[in-house]
Structure 1
């Protein structure tokens, strides 16, 4: 059995590296399609300002992409170093989409990024636009395969346990690819990236307009960002609703924790707008609810019920008791693979094997399990409700604030009034951090809400970690934090430097902050 400290440190290290990495990913996903839009307008109209827009915003995109790659590479190595048993147990399934991502998407986007920056004078306008489009496809394919892998962790389909190898093995590759959870997660995540890219361009363009510099360049950039951001923000909210439905289908525990839904309500369930969850008593001290909404989101019907936390815990208790028999049968088969009775017992209880593994946190011999240990394992199946509840609501609140901003910005650009609305420009400028905050909150909800599982219902987190010393984890965690913080500071410095220079950094002689203007 692993110590709690070792497990927590391993989780913290991966969480820190993932959160740092995800500071760079959304901007890459969003900026690249804005570049496609800008260059498409350039090819169609021949107006050089759109070429300059593509090159300038592309420069900021390139800085972000380089640092995103740097922070992402180490994460895949961590599966082998810090999560060795996880890699052994599910590597047959989980490794496939990651390998495809490296072979297909990463090399594709890397190749075309090089052509994007160095092909302006070597390719025709349509050829360079095709390069930009393929670069965008590559970045989104990269996200697709990674989110297919992550979606399988949330909803493990197309695989089964093989007691001969003591591993999960792939049985249906297409089920993994078309996993509803993975597809919903992909479209929701990339849409959040599009909002991030749009907000980045919108905020910096607003700063130029407030300063009264390079007004035409800034006004056109602001218009494109506002329109793209409005469409993306609407997509995030609509696709977030779809994600809520898939969570309701595959992870009812997460949905109940998000809603602080302690008791099962008659259908259709109410949406808890705000509440004060009390985890000690298993109820909300007070709450404000909106009738029907949660039932419609979580079930797409008015007749299906959504189970509450207490009902889920009782179901999990039954699965843990069944899982004990599966673990016992597995232990017998390890000693005697030909034991017919053990095979029959395992087959009867195999669906609950992961729930039996939850007790491995406390005992190695299932014959030593007590009712008290079962109670502890049952409580372990529910993530802490308070952080889930409030994190989700903060994320949704930010999404609606950004939707309002993009809607008003798009309306004012249609009327040609954006530069005459300083309050709007200031709102856009100070909203720059919002999409990053929302993205980080979203990943927290997705990953923390899956606990205590690395593979939902299959492999508990405490069984997934490598046998490492706490000292080595403290050392590597400190090293990652220091190194990634340096990279983040480098990114902020370079972004701020080139953003302040503006399109003058292109050296075309058409903008401010260029040598020809001094």
Structure 2
């Protein structure tokens, strides 16, 4: 039965604030780079229409950036209010990338955003262009450090447990930074942001062309968005494959749940294109499989099996039993100034995190029965149907974006962007990149459960020792506040889209004289 305890409420609150915040992050990433591209064209050609396009999209970028900052600050405070033990346990590692991200976002990025808006008449063309590119670079660096921190939770490298302090401590910042999960997650997430920015520009440009307003700027913006979006959408698919491989190396249960794969898949492992997971019978019905694909994604081979849910549960049960000896030693000796792990317990210490899963069932885990240990092992299975369908909808949207941007690129290169069916389809596609991005985070974070730090700390142990009613009250406050922010954000975006870009007449380039405006007497 679903219980609204402090763990569930804390997870729900962080999930809602994180997913709401991520409505703004991908658009910031995509629009920032598109602004830099458009302004580069302006500086190279001197055409004012490109300056006007940059300024117009820059206004929408500014609204989105402000909302992103406002919603992002609260997330970091939750680590101290709702996840105090987690912050205490891994603060030495997790705090470093968060601190650097704060410097990037609030000092570097915010400074250049200010120069972008107020420097048009104070900086030269080249100086302002450099500022715009630094805004784009700052946005990407800000995302990098957040994803480094998140990737460490998925694959905790560069750190070791200290039995004297009973905390995880940093051993190699280089390993944390170059964590393979962080690298694949960064390029995949940033590419998804580029797709979001391109779709935003493409959809609003289509709206203007359909309404026959600001057509000159809309066509140019659409051309840039089509080419940029096509390259980004292709990158998302290619780089997503790398994310699948790193998950196959480090988070095998996540891959098994995404595939609803209960039994180990023999080589060459097939990818399930469609199916209906049945939790009661632990099977997937009506499967349609593509041979070899899963083996190539998860193992980069055709001769290695991909382990299923049942085999991984058995392995988790073994690790729970193995970790109990290390847990019992820590319960007696941990925290002492001279505590040192005996050599014969080093293997057991690596599995202490698994033994902690039993604490959700009974506090004295050393007395757990076989049934309770098996129950704890079963808790390592994430919600299979949620992951199965979230992943497939996300992938289907990814291929849809490739097709849409390919058509847009073809039509724009042929100067046939006025096709009504294409323009309407583009407008209706506006929310889809956000849907895909949120589903991606569901796959990444929900698939990590029951771990807040993979195979190291269960989620239920990381929460603060506060009443559930306090979390419920703050959750309700966040919902009301963020709902108000959403209304303000949408209202501002709609307002400035309706106003449209400020357009100025460009001087003629054909050599013909510019005719003077008629006098009042001539117009009578």
Q: TM-score range by the shorter chain?
A: over 0.9
SS in 1 for 2:23: coil
2:371 is aligned to 372
Instruction: Say whether residues 1:133 and 2:124 are aligned partners.
Output: no
CA deviation vs aligned residue, 1:237-278 (integer Å, no higher than 9, x gap)? 111111111111111110110011111122120000111111
Residue 102 of structure 1: how far off its partner (Å): 1.2
Residue 383 of structure 1: how far off its partner (Å): 0.3
Distance verdict in 2 for CA 1:370–1:207, change over 3 Å: same
1:124 is aligned to 124
1:102 is aligned to 102
Mapped partners of 1:44, 1:443: distance in 2: 39
Instruction: Say whether residues 1:444 and 2:442 are aligned partners.
Output: yes
Residue 486 of structure 1: how far off its partner (Å): 0.6
Mapped partners of 1:427, 1:122: distance in 2: 41
Contact 2:48 2:504 in 1 (8 A): no
Mapped partners of 1:30, 1:238: distance in 2: 18
Mapped partners of 1:275, 1:268: distance in 2: 19
2:473 is aligned to 475
Contact 1:263 1:311 in 2 (8 A): yes
Contact 1:325 1:345 in 2 (8 A): no
1:218 is aligned to 218
SS in 2 for 1:213: coil
SS in 2 for 1:348: helix
Instruction: Say whether residues 1:35 and 2:26 are aligned partners.
Output: no
Mapped partners of 1:85, 1:345: distance in 2: 29
1:515 is aligned to none
CA deviation vs aligned residue, 1:444-496 (integer Å, no higher than 9, x gap)? 11000000000000000010000111111111000001101111110100000
2:353 is aligned to 354
Instruction: Say whether residues 1:485 and 2:491 are aligned partners.
Output: no
Instruction: Say whether residues 1:428 and 2:426 are aligned partners.
Output: yes
1:390 is aligned to 389
Residue 103 of structure 1: how far off its partner (Å): 2.0
Residue 335 of structure 1: how far off its partner (Å): 7.8
Paired residues in the alignment total 504
Mapped partners of 2:4, 2:304: distance in 1: 39
Mapped partners of 2:435, 2:268: distance in 1: 32
1:16 is aligned to 16
Q: Structure 1 unaligned runs (5+)?
A: 511-518
Residues 130-139 or 355-364, more deviating: 355-364
Distance verdict in 2 for CA 1:333–1:397, change over 3 Å: same
Contact 2:164 2:335 in 1 (8 A): no
Mapped partners of 2:162, 2:175: distance in 1: 18
- Which is helix-richer, 1 or 2? 1
Mapped partners of 1:334, 1:193: distance in 2: 45
Distance verdict in 2 for CA 1:150–1:339, change over 3 Å: closer
Mapped partners of 1:51, 1:180: distance in 2: 40
2:408 is aligned to 409
2:455 is aligned to 457
SS in 1 for 2:169: strand
Residue 432 of structure 1: how far off its partner (Å): 0.2
Mapped partners of 1:80, 1:394: distance in 2: 34
CA deviation vs aligned residue, 1:342-390 (integer Å, no higher than 9, x gap)? 7345423111011011111122222321111101111101101111000
TM-score when normalising by structure 1: 0.95
Mapped partners of 1:204, 1:105: distance in 2: 27
Mapped partners of 1:38, 1:339: distance in 2: 60
Mapped partners of 2:74, 2:427: distance in 1: 33
Residue 4 of structure 1: how far off its partner (Å): 6.4
Mapped partners of 1:390, 1:24: distance in 2: 24
Residue 398 of structure 1: how far off its partner (Å): 1.0
Mapped partners of 1:175, 1:156: distance in 2: 10
Distance verdict in 2 for CA 1:397–1:498, change over 3 Å: same
SS in 2 for 1:199: helix
Mapped partners of 1:181, 1:236: distance in 2: 15
CA deviation vs aligned residue, 1:273-325 (integer Å, no higher than 9, x gap)? 11111112221133111110110111111112211111111111110111111
Contact 1:326 1:345 in 2 (8 A): no
SS in 1 for 2:275: strand
Cα RMSD (Å): 1.4
SS in 2 for 1:468: coil
Pairing 1:39-58 to 2, within 5 Å after superposition: 39-58=39-58
Mapped partners of 1:424, 1:212: distance in 2: 15
CA deviation vs aligned residue, 1:52-80 (integer Å, no higher than 9, x gap)? 00000000000000000000001000000
Mapped partners of 1:249, 1:367: distance in 2: 31
TM-score when normalising by structure 2: 0.94
SS in 2 for 1:227: helix
SS in 2 for 1:418: coil
Mapped partners of 1:123, 1:461: distance in 2: 50
Q: 1:495 aligns with which of 490, 493, 496?
A: 493
